Every structure is written in C-alpha cells, then in structure tokens.
Amino acid sequence: MRFTFFFREALRSLKRNAMPSFAAMVTVLVTILVLGVFIPIVQATTGAADEIRGKLLIDVYLRTDAKPADVARVRTLLADKTPNVKSVQFVSKEAAYAREKARFPDQYELLGKTNPLPDTFRVTPINPDKISEIRNSLLPVAGGGTVAVDPAIEEVKNRRDQTAKILEATNFIKITMALLASLLALASVLLIANTIRLSLFARRREIEVMKLVGATDSFIRWPFIIEAIIVGGLGALMAISLLAVGKVAILDPFAETFALIAAPETLNFGLLIAILLAAAIGVSAAGSTLSLRRFLRV
C-alpha cells in the first residue's frame, strides 16, 4: 500500500514538474547513449591490442645439421624447462622450404634441391611483456657475448625493435582507454546527479513545506527516489532503443563487410543493455538520495 502511494506521488510529481524531469531524462539518455557507444569501442580497442600482443613470437633456429634427437631435446627444453612459454610450434626445414618456394617460385627454382632453411621452433609467450626474458634465458650472456643454452640452437630472434614498439603502443592504448573509460564514467555520474540536483532545487520549497508540517525524511525521500528511477529508466530505455536501431541498421551490415568491426570480441548486446539500464537507474536513484540530503536539513 505504501509503495503504491509513493509511486502515485512520484507520477504526480513528474506531471507537475515536467520540464525539470524532462531535462533529467534527456541527460540520462545522452549519457547512456555515449556510454553504450564508448564501452564496445573500449572493448574492441583493448581486444585488438591484446590480439596483436598475442601474436608476438620468438623464433628459435636450429643448426642446419641438427639431428632428430637434437630437435626432440630442444623441444623439451622450450616446452618444459623455459619459463613463461605458452606454446611451442615446430616448423621443419622441409615445410619451411615448401612454403617459401610457393611464395617465391622463381628464386627457389635457382636453388634446385638445396635447402638452406633450418628447422625452427616458434615460441609463444604466456605474457608478451616477458618475451625478452625468454630470449635472454635461451641466449644468456657469457664471456662478453651470448651463448645458446643448447648446442643445437643456432640463433634466437624476437624482432626486438618491432616487439618493443608493439608492446609500447598496445600498453599506451590500453592505459589510455582505461583512463578515458574512468573519466567518462565519473563524468556520467556527476552529470546525472547534478541534473537531478537542479530538478530538486526547483522544488526545494515543496520539500521544506513537507518537512515543516512533520513529514519524516523517508516519507519525503521515497517519492523522489522512485521518480528518479522512473526518469533514469525511461532515459536509458530510449538510449537503448537508439543503440539497438544503430546496431541493426549500421553496425551489423558493416560487420559483414569489414573484418575490423567483426573481429574483436565485445560485450554481448543483451548484457550491455542490462548494464546500461542498471547503471542509469542506480546512478539516478543515488543522485536523488544524495541531493535530497541537503534539502532535508530544515
């Protein structure tokens, strides 16, 4: 019974104060719309950065005269005795030769049956930031130079310049996206709360009169909280409707054409809707509660 009364009072208040409530609803709509666009962008950007980082490899080249026993020993060394190794892929000299000959048939035709390519292990690290440590563990410094930990290893390459640039760029992207997401979330909370505060300020006399005639704080507070929830929910639903139209009309057709849009793993749209709706309602209710504290001090 009491909730029904509070709900009716909230609806009456919305009708009496249509303009402030409309302004708060538009603020929620715009904020949720921006968040709904920005969250997948952040996810796609960081996901693409992680995908690029995941492709960083270390190439371990064996000597051209390496025997099957040497290959087995180095495989065990890389897979079981080298820290931070996620996976090891072996590329035989025959497979490498066939692949390169298919790419450059004219050049490899001149070689005849000679195969200058070595057996190779492609090592994928668990943590891309530790890729240099893996290389250093395979080629430790000794006597003023580097000596391979196994005599069958000829060379270890990780394209250090390229790797360093990729790690720096992806780290910068991830940190930047995290900062932008944090700033946008904070700005959204402050913007919605401030708009609700302005709406309550326009009705401060009403609150003061209710307080002076003996109404309790909870009796005054609940209609405003329910009103804020209604405003936040309506604003979020309109924003979600626009996002759904944009997804169906723009994003989905482009995703079929451009792999860059379809490739990154992003948040499920249904889950995104639930998060945005809960955020809008929660922030609106919290903003109303915090803003009311000032006006209840009569």
Cβ(183)–Cβ(255) below 8 Å: no
pLDDT, one tens digit per residue, over 65-78 is: 888 898 899 999 98
Per domain, the residue ranges of the chain are 2-52+167-295, 57-157
DSSP state of 119: P
Letter for the amino acid at 200? L
- Cβ atoms within 10 A of the Cβ of 223, count? 21
CA-based nearest residue to 275, from 24, 23, 43 = 43
CA-based nearest residue to 36, from 245, 291, 191, 216 = 245
- Scanning the structure block, which residue is given the tokens 């690029």? 52
- Determine the Cα–Cα distance for residues 195 and 291; give it in Å rounded to an integer: 10
Is the Cα torsion angle 173, 175, 179, 184 positive or negative in sign? positive
* Model pTM score: 0.61
**Choices 3.40.630.40, 3.30.559.10, 3.90.550.10, 3.30.70.3040: CATH for 57-157:** 3.30.70.3040
CA-based nearest residue to 118, from 196, 68, 170, 65 = 65
Which residues on neighbouring strands pair with residue 60, listed in sequence order? 121, 156
Burial 134-164 (b: 16+ CB within 10 A, else e): bbebbbeeeeeeeebebebbbebebeeeebe
- Determine the Cα–Cα distance for residues 235 and 223; give it in Å rounded to an integer: 18
pLDDT bracket for residue 260 (50, 70, 90): very low
pLDDT, one tens digit per residue, over 84-127 is: 888 898 988 888 888 877 877 777 676 667 777 888 998 888 88
Laid out side by side, the sheet with 120-125 consists of 85-91, 120-125, 58-62, 153-157
- Determine the Cα–Cα distance for residues 67 and 264; give it in Å rounded to an integer: 42
What's the whole-number mean pLDDT along residues 263-280? Answer: 75
152 pLDDT higher than 70: yes
